[in-house]
Structure 1
Amino acid sequence: MVMGLQLPITNSLPSSSSSSSPFFLGPRNPRNFRTFCSFNAKAKAKIPVPPINPKDPFLSKLASVAATSPETLLDRPVNSESPPYLDLFDAPKLMATPAQVERSVSYNDQRPSTPPPDLPSLLLHGRIVYIGMPLVPAVTELVVAELMYLQWMDPKEPIYIYINSTGTTRDDGETVGMETEGFAIYDAMMQLKNEIHTVAVGAAIGQACLLLLAGTKGKRFMMPHAKAMIQQPRVPSSGLMPASDVLIRAKEIVTNRDTLVKLLAKHTGNSEETVANVMRRPFYMDATKAKEFGVIDKVLWRGQEKIMSDVAPPEDWDKSAGIKVVDGL
């Protein structure tokens, strides 16, 4: 009791003191007096307050209660079914999503409020369409949708198509998609009002080579070590199909081959006979050969033109090296 009052005059208080006496410190009931002393001790206790996020309503409310009514926090029920201090709110609300927990004062204002977009979305923002898979229906759907979207955004700005695809087949020659997948992207490119720049960055095989040469004339490019290849359409696996169905499929493949020959001849400037002859077997082309055949217009090799113009002809190299050319060799 002495520690609770912490006053030297408590022992000298007369027993007959009234409630009007200036030395009255509490009620005369011993039980009430002990409660009063205990409250004074708790009121003088220092309540630790953590750093407060001003945007956090729960911590702000908790700090306000600790400053105004500390007994509310000190006299906690021992066996309480509710989480600590949530009963301070009439309708407590926990944070809805984990993302809200991250919004702390430790993050600066420049931190993005939403997750970053995926890589295809970033490329699309730069008007770039990247074809990096065989032309299966899912790839065709995405490419056609991106082309239509870019035209809707701006029908005057160019569209850049980067190609690294084996077409409707895999690298081992197995068919993975119908020839119509390549024709669908080709038709979408022909319907666009935009100028289309095509770039081969790895391989442009079969239908992918058709997309490469279908770009705007003068805007078709290849990387120095990229490959292009044209080939006849492949017959998909017939399995246990009847012979009549196999014949129908074979006729459709011949029709697609003739269509492909006409389109290749149109965009390369070669005759249909020339294209049909080289398509009898897979016809591979490096960047230089593809330019000669009319598949592309320029090789994207930085500084290549200046380097090649500065190179001396072979005769000058032989002369400077002291090599004499023998007639007949």
Structure 2
Amino acid sequence: MASCLHAPMAYTIPSSASSQSVRRPKALTLSCRAFGSKSAAKIPMPPINPKDPFLSKLASVATSSPETLLNRPVNPDTPPYLDLFESPTLMATPAQVERSVSYNEHRPRRPPPDLPSLLLHGRIVYIGMPLVPAVTELVVAELMYLQWMDPKQPIYLYINSTGTTRDDGETVGMETEGFAIYDALMNLQNEIHTVAVGAAIGQACLLLSAGTKGKRFMMPHAKAMIQQPRIPSSGLMPASDVLIRAKEVIINRDILVELLAKHTGNSVETVASAMKRPFYMDASRAKEFGVIDKILWRGQEKVMAEVAAPEEWDKNAGIKVVDGF
């Protein structure tokens, strides 16, 4: 242990041996009696780190009042010079480290935006609920905003929706909810890349097929389904009102058939015949029907392209096709 304390600063200290002052230009030699030693050897001090609060405080005290560092009592139970601080802290607690500025300097000062806003930043619009008025309002607003931001960049529309009904067939929204989103898509200048994840049923299937040709995709295990619109619960309505609603549903059905025929490339009769009952389609069947253009399965198209035709398999296996079977 060092027998003396030296601070890297000039100070005039009265000598204990004579009344003359001795100037120490590079180091301040304090009396070794502070450590209980009789020797007065000088130990060169390294430069003080200005960011070290302990050494900075010690140097400040040595400059302003060096007498506080002289003739200090030796207390083996207390670390030396720690009493110079009013409230010394040996180690920061984990909570203090967590709240420290240096630790959290990159943490946002404000709460992050909601998830739809984050997706919107990547030009992604996600429909993950039945088409109720609140969903329609948000989706149409996002589409208009993205076109206003950049009318040339594509918009990615991800769909996982049961349309205007629930999975059990109960009506939760009017058909106009789906038509509103469809009309908004048709009025956009941007390319629309549609992707089906999970399910695209009824009006949601129409939105899936309404994407830009060649940019309509489907996950390998997603499902698409087209069906006739349903009449909302009539309850205690008069018979005349029920008839009016039935006529409106028929009109909506005809519009839905025409739009699906337009985007799938099928005839109106083909689509109407398929919609007589719920018509479910997996990814491959939806591609054949014209709802989508590609299946988003990494490497699948390359693998399927290398698969031989059934006749080639039979020929290589030595199987002969018998007429009548």
CA distance in 2, matches of 1:170, 1:250: 20
Which of these residues, 182, 187, 204, is aligned with residue 186 of structure 1? 182
Shift of 1:150: 0.6
CA distance in 2, matches of 1:193, 1:50: 67
Q: Deviations over 1:77-120 (max 9, x none)?
A: xxxxxxxxxxxxxxxxxxxxxxxxx8533524222222222221
CA distance in 1, matches of 2:102, 2:154: 43
Q: Which has the higher helix share?
A: 1
After TM superposition, the structure 1 stretch with the greater mean CA deviation from structure 2, 172-181 or 217-226, is 217-226
Shift of 1:291: 1.2
Which of these residues, 233, 238, 247, is aligned with residue 237 of structure 1? 233
Letter matched to residue 86 of structure 2: P
Letter matched to residue 107 of structure 1: Y
Which of these residues, 82, 101, 108, is aligned with residue 105 of structure 1? 101
For residues 139-288 of structure 1, what are the structure 2 equivalents within 5 Å? 139-288=135-284
Shift of 1:213: 0.7
For residues 45-84 of structure 1, what are the structure 2 equivalents within 5 Å? 48-49=86-87
The RMSD of aligned alpha carbons is 2.1
Shift of 1:316: 4.3
CA distance in 1, matches of 2:141, 2:278: 31
Shift of 1:265: 1.3
Matched, 1:131 2:127: yes
Which position in structure 2 is the counterpart of 1:305?
A: 301
Query: How many residues were matched structurally?
Result: 237
CA distance in 1, matches of 2:258, 2:274: 13
Letter matched to residue 246 of structure 2: A
Secondary structure, in 3 states, of the residue corresponding to 1:240?
Answer: coil
Letter matched to residue 310 of structure 1: E
CA distance in 1, matches of 2:112, 2:267: 49
Shift of 1:297: 1.1
Shift of 1:161: 0.3
Shift of 1:320: 4.9
Secondary structure, in 3 states, of the residue corresponding to 2:194?
Answer: strand
CA distance in 1, matches of 2:270, 2:315: 40
CA distance in 2, matches of 1:281, 1:273: 14
Unmatched runs of 5 consecutive residues or more in structure 1: 1-44, 52-101
Q: 1:312 to 1:273 in 2, by over 3 A?
A: closer
